[in-house]
Amino acid sequence: MAAFSSLKASVKAFLINRPYVLLVLTMLMWSANGNAGRMAVDQISPMMIVSLRWLIASSVLIFFARDQIRNDWKILKQHPVIIGFGGTFGFTGFNALFYLAAHHTSAVNMTILQGALPVFVLLGAALVYRLPVSLMEWMGVGLTLCGVGVVAIQGDLSAIAKFSFNIGDGWLILACLIYSAYALALRNRPKVSGIGFFTALAIAAFISSLPLLIWESALGETQWPTSEGWLLLLFIALFPSLLAQICFLRAVDLIGPGRASIFTNLVPIFGPIIAVGLLGETFHPFHAVALVLVLLGIALAEWRKIRPLQDVTA
């Protein structure tokens, strides 16, 4: 037990003020989430995943961090709007719109349009918080968008001609706008621990997901998890839902929502790479080109910004 506690303390000390490590880990887990979602087809229905993932995540948090949550509650209960918005729209709403969009648009459209997320956050940061956006940041975002585009068209320029806007694209843009608003709102989150704040969001996400689960059930499309579905659900709940969100919250605390959002363009790059091992898909040269473009874009956007970070509420 002493050795485990020592290891836990060492890992926390290493990660606590390293936003770039936290963000890369976050994007790896979110990328794996996409692959897990594909593997979950015929194993568990989409809205069942949405509801149970937040039930499991919030239950784990309440069990292991109940003392910290109890201490934070005095402050948390004074902020029902930001908690309700974050859980309902940032978590449940984004996922529901994403699933809905997937039924009406192509993978190419979804990959390209998701690349708009950091643009929305940077624009929001400039408009709402009057934060300056440098030319280097815009150039970096542009380079990451090129990397996302390479994945979307799979290295074939003729695929651009197939791009056409439809209702599914509208749902996806709305989803990105909602998540951008959530990311921006994190800048003014209650001054409590990341664990306490995230627990409140997870509970709000679970409650707000129940009407969607009822709707899915009314349509006769609800599927209870199979044995494989339970394993996938546990992975989704513990890693992309719980650990990834905590890492993202901490990174936003350290470098702000605009800079943190640029890293989201790693998701469509990491996703296919992870799929090579999990789903037996082929790694193509355009994947390597896209990864280099996105990493160069992030490096350009972050140029001269790496500095010692002061500790903030963890």
Q: What is the pLDDT of residues 199-238, one digit of tens each?
A: 999 999 999 999 999 999 999 999 999 999 999 999 999 9
Domain assignment of residue 288, yes or no: yes
Domain assignment of residue 137, yes or no: yes
- The token duo for 195 is 């664990």
Domains of the chain: total = 1
CA angle (163, 168, 170) in 5-degree steps: 90
Give pTM, 2 decimals: 0.78
Q: Which residues are within 8 A (CB) of 280 and not within 5 positions of it... i.e. 6 or more apart?
A: none
Cα distance between residue 41 and residue 73, in whole Å: 38
Domain assignment of residue 89, yes or no: yes
Domain assignment of residue 158, yes or no: yes
Domain assignment of residue 1, yes or no: no
314 residues of the chain, pLDDT tens digit each: 555 455 455 556 667 788 989 999 999 998 888 778 778 878 999 889 989 999 999 999 999 889 999 999 999 999 999 999 999 988 898 888 877 776 676 655 666 667 777 878 888 888 888 877 778 888 888 888 787 777 767 667 776 666 666 777 788 888 888 988 888 888 888 889 888 999 999 999 999 999 999 999 999 999 999 999 999 999 999 998 899 989 998 998 888 887 888 888 788 778 777 877 776 767 778 777 877 887 788 777 777 565 444 444 33
- The token duo for 56 is 């499991």
Range of the domain at 199: 25-37+44-301
Cα distance between residue 40 and residue 231, in whole Å: 10
